[in-house]
Every structure is written in C-alpha cells, then in structure tokens.
C-alpha cells in the first residue's frame, strides 16, 4: 500500500498520527483543529473494515460544517492522491446519502481489504440521550464534534464502551473530540476529563483505592492526548478573516480569551453551588431515555408530611417570564422530621433566546399543572404562583399577542396570564426578594437547603440541574451583581428562588449573608 500523508501543519500531523484511546484537539476558532480529524476519518476507513461515527449536536450543524467538507474537499484530496492497493481502489462505493429510516448522513467507501467501510454522521442533542442512541451499536471509532456544546461527560461515558467492532486493532479504536474552551471553563466536563484527571496527584486519589486500582487509573490517563491549537498553528487560514473574527470578540475579555486565544477561563472558584449540589444526593429518578414516556420522575405526594392549605395539597410555582427568556417551576413543599420546610422540584419549563407569546407560555404551564394533578386524581391542589414583580408593570412584553397589545395597551403581563388561564393563575409579586442585595440571600438560602438536604430535584428538570452545576459569581466584584450577568442559567435560578424565598421570607429577613453549612439527615424519598 502506498504511504501518503495529507498536507498538514506539524501539530495537525501529530494529532493525525496519534494512536491513544482519547484524542482532544482544542483551541481557538479557525486554528485547524478539525482538519486533522477529517483526514483521520478517511485513513481509518481505508485501513480497516470500519464503521466510523461522527456525533454532532444537530444534523443542521453537521450539514453546515463537517459533512460537506469531509465528503467534498477532504475526500477529493484522497482521490487525487491515488491511494490504492492491489485489491481495491479508494473511492465511493455509495456516494453520501441520507438513511431513510434513521435520517443519518452516510457514506460508504472502498478499503484496502477489498471490503467497504461506513461513515455515519448523526445527532445527539443532549448527553443523556447518548445511552439510548448508542445502545447495542458497534463502532470502530467515534468523533465528538464541538464537545463544548455538551453539558456533561455522559456522552463520552456512553460512547466509549461501543468501540467494539470486531476485526479492528485496539490502537485504531479511538474517541476523538474537538472543542473550543467551554463557557464553564475549568468546571467543564472537558477540562475535568482531559486535563484535571490526567494531572491528578496521587494524594488526590480516592482513599479506598489499592495499588492495582491506581495503576489502572494511571494507565487510562496515559491513553488521553491533548493538542492545544493556536491561531498560528494554522498557516493555511485566511488571515483577513481571522482578524475580522478576532475583532468581533474584542469587547468581551472572557470570550476573546476563549474563542481567540483558546484559553480556559478559571470559573471553578466562582461556582455558587460547588460543594453543596451533588447530583447523587439531590437528583431522583432517571431521564436518560430519549423517549419521555420512559423517564422515571418524581411525582406529587399525598403523605402526611406535605404542606396543605385547608384540605388541599399545596403546590408552588415560580415564574420568570420575559421577552425571549422564560422560566417556570413546579415545587411541592413538605416537612421533614425536624419540621423544617423542604422542597421537591417536580417540573420545569425553560425557554431561552426564543420569543414566546405569554398565552402560549400559560398554556404550556397549565398543561404541566394538569399532568401533575393527574398523579393524585382524588386530591385537590392549591397552587401559589410567585413571579418576578416586573409582570405588574403597565407595559406588555414583546411576547404577548399583537392584537391584544393594540386593544389593551395598559394590560400587564400578569393580567395577560390571568386572562389566558381564565382566572386560574393569579401571580404574586416576588419584589421583596428581587433586588440585587437579595441575590446573595437567595443564593445562600439555596446553598443552605442543599447542604441540609431539604431540596430534591426530579431528573427531568435538566435545566435546573444545569443551573446548580453552572451558576457562578462574577470573577471580579460587580456593583449590584452577586450573580454574573448574561448567564442563561440565571433564569431558572430566578423562577426557582422566587418561590422558595417567598415561602421562607421571614427567615431571610433575619438571615445573615452567610449560609449555614450543616447537613441534616432526612428520611428516604416519600417515606
């Protein structure tokens, strides 16, 4: 077989030749980090009877990026190079097509053995979906494109065991990942998996590990290779375009460092709920299936410990409606054996960067309320709705019905929601806990409740879980801001904390700015 190497920069070539189990190409935009991987796809498929999977967030992302370049320019380079053997010529067996059943993008090429190799591009939108998407599949190699778009390491956890296609050498079975440094910096799953674990000190290993476990762990870490690409590592890039892109980020230092310098931001110390939120302690159920009907979720309880208003089961709703960001929570309060008020977060509805009519938001909330009530059809529910106090301003949001705004110009958002719900939803303003000085108190309150295990979260509340994982303070003190502004996770924080804080308003009024740190033991779930 003729040996041919594509035209690559030294760092690209090193990544192209790397044979460790896990390979990360990270760095700035337009630094050439994906180019080596695209060539690696064809080399792998030429060398083996292969099935190579490319994972993207959405099919559209693949269609606008990797797929046309891979099956066009990169493929043509391999054809023009005359890669061949005595058995088969390199080229399409079946030109790129879309699978009619799975909707995957697929291509099939000749390999050196006279057989064929498959290339498949498919979407996994959320990490937890990987378990079902990849279940019972067999791959010879997988490539996670734009790893920074995924919320946690579940994707790589579920992908790795599927590298089990027979007949492919072990050093060819790889997980590739390309990424810009994620927004959550050194608190991201990428940093943890590829950097923090690789550089762990022996004293940081779990105390119960014996020498054999340490040796196995260290062997795994040696199978991880990271290539950090800088803009100067791509001599083939359009210099003018790179300058134009750099100029777009100059107003935001964090974004400039991340997208232009390729640097991880140091945010771990600014994470508000770090050390308090623990998924294993606070999240109940499972939402790993792509089919919502198969989720295991927390449901309303009618046990003796739940809060009641008269004979009705008390339920809380937290609201934070806006123009393009909306957040809502359904919460059931109950009391533990110490008579402390506790909160089960049963459901959520979060929309970011998308205009939504208040009427449509109300309809979705009411649908979710009815679904929760259906779990206890013999019980009556009493709902209290706490909201951002801005809903009472005489200024209808952009998300309200246009005709309504024209005819009822003085109608508040609260009035719109009341009318859309036919009077079932009456919002109560949470203005008492809204201002900047109360941000700290609301954060400290949630820290305390987490520490005392007085908050439980249903696994289907994925945005809430992300909020507890990622909400952060500003790196430097900002007047009027305890929480760093412009975080998407701020909206579910607001809707959740408005409702809980209003229930504990008396405690908050007298509370210091420091949360309590004790961890009270609670009875089992719904015991």
Instruction: Assign residue 57 the CATH number of its domain.
Output: 3.40.50.300
* Residue 510 pLDDT: 59
Q: Where are the alpha helices (DSSP H) in 196-333?
A: 211-222, 239-248, 253-259, 279-282
- State whether 181 and 308 are in the same domain: no
Q: Is residue 455 part of a domain?
A: yes
Distance, CA of 194 to CA of 228 (rounded, Å): 12
Q: Is residue 17 part of a domain?
A: yes
Cβ-Cβ contacts under 8 Å for 50 (sequence gap 6 or more): 44, 111, 117, 118, 140, 141, 165, 168, 172
Distance, CA of 398 to CA of 302 (rounded, Å): 39
Q: Is residue 293 part of a domain?
A: yes
Q: Is residue 314 part of a domain?
A: yes
Beta-carbon count within 10 A of 305 CB: 15
Q: Is residue 526 part of a domain?
A: no
Q: Do residues 423 and 417 make contact, with C-beta atoms less than 8 angstroms apart?
A: no
- State whether 291 and 214 are in the same domain: no
- State whether 244 and 288 are in the same domain: no
Q: Which domain holds residue 387?
A: 279-509
- State whether 379 and 429 are in the same domain: yes
Q: Do residues 481 and 436 make contact, with C-beta atoms less than 8 angstroms apart?
A: yes
* Residue 525 pLDDT: 28
SS3 143: strand
Where a domain ends, among 259, 287, 315? 259
* Residue 388 pLDDT: 86
Residues facing 319 on adjacent strands: 328, 387
- State whether 232 and 331 are in the same domain: no
Instruction: Look at residues 83, 113, 499, 456 and name the one whose alpha carbon lies nearest to residue 327.
Output: 499
Distance, CA of 453 to CA of 451 (rounded, Å): 5
* pTM, full prediction: 0.66
Q: Do residues 87 and 175 make contact, with C-beta atoms less than 8 angstroms apart?
A: no
With b for 16 or more beta-carbon neighbours within 10 A and e for fewer, the 474-503 pattern comes to: eeeeeeeebbbeeebbbbbbbbbbbbbbbb
- State whether 135 and 57 are in the same domain: yes
Instruction: Look at residues 441, 486, 498, 447 and name the one whose alpha carbon lies nearest to residue 468.
Output: 447
Distance, CA of 131 to CA of 120 (rounded, Å): 18
* Residue 519 pLDDT: 35
- State whether 349 and 469 are in the same domain: yes
Element (H, E) at 494: helix 490-503
- State whether 389 and 448 are in the same domain: yes
Q: Is residue 521 part of a domain?
A: no
Distance, CA of 174 to CA of 116 (rounded, Å): 19
How many domains does the chain fold into? 2
Distance, CA of 382 to CA of 375 (rounded, Å): 15
* Residue 211 pLDDT: 87
Strands 427-429 and 381-387: parallel
Q: Tens digit of pLDDT per residue, the chain (527 long)?
A: 456 889 999 999 999 999 999 999 999 888 989 999 999 999 999 999 999 999 999 999 999 999 999 999 999 999 998 887 667 788 999 999 998 888 899 999 999 998 999 999 999 988 888 888 998 899 999 999 999 998 888 899 999 999 999 999 999 999 999 999 988 888 889 988 999 888 888 877 888 888 898 888 889 999 999 999 998 888 777 788 888 888 888 887 778 888 888 888 877 778 889 889 988 899 998 876 667 777 889 999 999 999 999 889 999 999 999 888 899 999 999 999 999 999 999 999 999 888 899 999 999 999 999 999 999 999 999 999 999 888 887 555 544 444 444 334 568 999 999 999 999 999 999 877 776 678 888 999 999 999 999 999 999 999 999 899 888 887 665 555 678 776 888 899 999 999 999 998 866 655 545 544 443 332 222 22
Distance, CA of 505 to CA of 424 (rounded, Å): 25
Instruction: Look at residues 307, 385, 321, 395 and name the one whose alpha carbon lies nearest to residue 357.
Output: 321
* Residue 523 pLDDT: 29
- State whether 377 and 477 are in the same domain: yes
Q: How many residues does the chain have?
A: 527
Q: CATH no. for residue 435?
A: 3.30.420.280
- State whether 302 and 159 are in the same domain: no
Distance of CA 256 to the CA centre of its chain: 22
Token pair belonging to 238: 């359009």
Q: Is residue 407 part of a domain?
A: yes
Residue 310's Cβ-side half-sphere holds a number of Cα atoms within 13 Å equal to 6
Q: Do residues 36 and 188 make contact, with C-beta atoms less than 8 angstroms apart?
A: no
- State whether 355 and 429 are in the same domain: yes
Distance, CA of 258 to CA of 28 (rounded, Å): 7
- Residue 358's alpha-carbon distances to 54, 185, 331, 386, 401, in angstroms, are 39, 35, 21, 16, 8
Strands 283-284 and 224-229: unpaired
Cβ-Cβ contacts under 8 Å for 316 (sequence gap 6 or more): 329, 330, 331, 332, 333, 343, 383, 384, 386, 499, 500, 503
Q: Is residue 518 part of a domain?
A: no
Distance, CA of 143 to CA of 366 (rounded, Å): 41
- State whether 145 and 191 are in the same domain: yes
Token pair belonging to 146: 């734009």
């Amino acid at each position: 077989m003729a040996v041919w190497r594509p035209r690559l920069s030294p760092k690209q070539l090193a990544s192209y030749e790397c044979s460790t189990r896990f390979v990360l190409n990270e760095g700035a935009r337009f630094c050439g980090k994906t180019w080596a991987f695209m060539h690696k796809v064809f080399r792998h498929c030429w060398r083996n009877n292969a099935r190579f999977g490319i994972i993207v967030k959405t099919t559209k992302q693949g269609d606008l990026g990797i797929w046309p370049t891979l099956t066009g320019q990169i493929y043509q380079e391999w054809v023009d190079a005359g890669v061949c053997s005595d058995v088969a010529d390199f080229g399409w067996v079946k030109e790129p097509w879309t699978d009619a059943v799975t909707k995957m993008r697929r291509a099939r090429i000749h390999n050196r053995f006279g057989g064929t190799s498959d290339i498949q591009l498919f979407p996994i939108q959320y990490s937890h979906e990987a378990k079902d998407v990849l279940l019972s599949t067999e791959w010879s190699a997988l490539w996670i494109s734009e790893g920074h778009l995924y919320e946690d390491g579940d994707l790589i956890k579920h992908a790795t065991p599927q590298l089990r296609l027979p007949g492919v050498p072990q050093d060819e079975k790889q997980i590739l990942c390309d990424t810009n440094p994620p927004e959550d910096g050194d608190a991201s799953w990428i940093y943890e998996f590829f950097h923090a674990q690789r550089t762990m000190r022996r004293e940081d290993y779990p105390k119960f590990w014996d020498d054999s476990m340490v040796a196995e762990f260290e062997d795994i870490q040696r199978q991880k290779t990271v290539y950090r690409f800088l803009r100067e590592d791509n001599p083939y890039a359009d210099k003018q375009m790179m300058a134009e892109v750099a100029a777009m980020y100059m107003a935001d230092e964090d974004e400039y460092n991340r997208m232009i310098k390729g640097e991880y931001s140091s945010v771990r110390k600014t994470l508000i709920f770090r050390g308090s939120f623990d998924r294993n302690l606070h999240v109940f159920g499972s939402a790993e299936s792509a089919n919502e009907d198969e989720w295991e979720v927390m449901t309303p309880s009618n046990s003796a410990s739940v809060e009641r208003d008269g004979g009705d089961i008390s339920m809380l709703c937290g609201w934070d409606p806006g123009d393009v960001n909306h957040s809502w929570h359904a919460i059931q309060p109950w009391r533990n054996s110490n008579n402390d008020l506790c909160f089960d977060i049963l459901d959520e509805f979060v929309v970011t960067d998308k205009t939504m009519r208040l009427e449509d938001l109300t309809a979705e909330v009411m649908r979710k309320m009815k679904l929760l009530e259906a779990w206890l059809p013999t019980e009556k529910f009493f709902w209290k709705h706490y909201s951002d106090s801005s809903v009472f301003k005489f200024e209808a949001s952009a998300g309200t019905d246009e005709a309504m705004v024209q005819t009822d110009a003085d109608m508040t958002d609260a009035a719109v929601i009341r009318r859309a719900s036919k009077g079932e939803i009456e919002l109560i303003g949470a203005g008492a806990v809204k201002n900047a000085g109360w941000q700290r108190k609301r954060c400290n309150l949630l820290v305390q409740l987490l520490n005392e295990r007085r908050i439980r979260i249903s696994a289907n509340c994925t945005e809430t879980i992300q909020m507890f994982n990622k909400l952060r303070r500003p790196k430097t003190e900002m007047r009027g801001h305890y929480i760093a502004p412009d975080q998407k996770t701020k909206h579910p924080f607001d809707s959740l904390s408005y409702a809980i804080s209003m229930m504990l308003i008396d405690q908050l009024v007298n509370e210091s700015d420091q949360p309590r740190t004790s961890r009270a033991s609670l009875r089992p779930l719904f015991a």
